[in-house]
Amino acid sequence: MTDNPWLATLTAIFLWWFSTGIILWRVRVADNGGPEQHLVSVVLGLPLLAAGIWGVNVTLTDTSTFGAYVGFLSALAIWGWIELAFLSGIITGPNRSRCPPDASDRQRFVRGFGTLAWHEGLLVLALVLLAFATRDLHHPFALWTFSILFFARISAKLNLFFGVPRINVEFLSTPLLHLPSHFRRGRVNLFYPFSITVLSFSAACFLERLVSAPTPASTTGFTLLTALTLLALLEHWFMVVPLPDQKLWRWMIPAPKVIPPELLQEDGNGL
């Protein structure tokens, strides 16, 4: 398999766009089909999780360029199934109610964590298991891929809590309509520059490893990681830059069924 860094970059960009789109598409289709369809989606997605686990096992003995791609794809597969389970409202958290408009920041944080607790716990468990499974690898690309997704997600959720100018909730499913009430739309918060700095530094570190990569496999692996980190950085910029990023996927997603107006009422946080 070729170690062309441009091909690896395009692969990462396509997989980021396509995997996001296919998950959002399936969630919307299930949402329009009825509450029980969300569980069907998660069950039907189990082969994706199994393929990810199998792929990680393959990378334990394959240090070739192919192994780097498999590690990257495997992490995306595991992550994708967990995200499908969350966006479908199957694995979320104990709190499924809207946040009161007069809630304090502390109450909003506690309630907000309650909406995500089981999902975040599953992500932590997956990260720990990946770290254990790949502990003997010199370049555990599956672990690093999952780690980028994990920490970028934590950063994004904290920024949504602290406050950012732009919050896209267009693709949320009915089981998650309570989620935006825990966010805050407003001026850029003080944590945001820190997030941008860390992601930029991480991308620079992966780029440095790419430039000095000694093997074709490491060239491919660090290209994929660099591209993924830059995409995570781009997603953070979408929180403040007025660009219609939802248009990347809107065209491929069915229109939602009618949502009761009371579920879309603006809350005290401006959502």
pLDDT of 146-162, one tens digit each? 999 999 999 999 999 99
Task: Please tell me the distance from the alpha carbon of residue 32 to that of residue 93, in angstroms, as a whole number.
Answer: 23
pLDDT, tens digit, 9 for 90 and up, residues 48-94: 999 999 999 999 999 899 999 999 999 999 999 999 999 999 999 99
- Retrieve residue 60's tokens: 């334990």
Residue 50 is assigned to a structural domain of this protein: yes
Q: Is 164 helix (H, G, I), strand (E, B) or coil?
A: strand
Residue 121 is assigned to a structural domain of this protein: yes
13 is in which domain, residue-wise?
5-256
Residue 269 has pLDDT above 70, yes or no: no
Distance from the Cα of residue 158 to its chain's centroid: 14
* pLDDT (0 to 100) of residue 144: 98
Residue 269 is assigned to a structural domain of this protein: no
Residue 265 is assigned to a structural domain of this protein: no
In this structure, are residues 167 and 183 in contact, taking their beta carbons and an 8 Å threshold?
yes
Residue 178 is assigned to a structural domain of this protein: yes
Residue 270 is assigned to a structural domain of this protein: no
Q: Is 185 helix (H, G, I), strand (E, B) or coil?
A: strand
* pLDDT (0 to 100) of residue 255: 86
In this structure, are residues 249 and 20 in contact, taking their beta carbons and an 8 Å threshold?
yes
* pLDDT (0 to 100) of residue 90: 96
Residue 264 has pLDDT above 80, yes or no: no
Average pLDDT estimate for 160-173:
92
Task: Please tell me the distance from the alpha carbon of residue 28 to that of residue 240, in angstroms, as a whole number.
Answer: 26
Place of tokens 């370049």: 139
Residue 34 has pLDDT above 90, yes or no: no
* pLDDT (0 to 100) of residue 1: 64
pLDDT, tens digit, 9 for 90 and up, residues 109-149: 999 999 999 999 999 999 999 999 999 998 999 999 999 99
Average pLDDT estimate for 12-25:
95
Residue 153 is assigned to a structural domain of this protein: yes
Q: What domain count does the chain have?
A: 1
Task: Please tell me the distance from the alpha carbon of residue 9 to that of residue 165, in angstroms, as a whole number.
Answer: 30
Banded pLDDT at 23 (limits 50, 70, 90): very high
Residue 20 is assigned to a structural domain of this protein: yes
pLDDT, tens digit, 9 for 90 and up, residues 182-232: 999 999 999 999 999 999 999 999 999 999 999 999 999 999 999 999 999
In this structure, are residues 243 and 77 in contact, taking their beta carbons and an 8 Å threshold?
no
Amino acid at 55: G
Helical H segments across the chain, by residue range: 5-33, 36-44, 46-59, 65-87, 105-133, 141-162, 191-211, 216-237, 247-250
Residue 19 has pLDDT above 50, yes or no: yes
* pLDDT (0 to 100) of residue 270: 36
More confident call, 4 vs 189: 189
In this structure, are residues 59 and 71 in contact, taking their beta carbons and an 8 Å threshold?
yes
Banded pLDDT at 170 (limits 50, 70, 90): confident
pTM of the full structure: 0.93
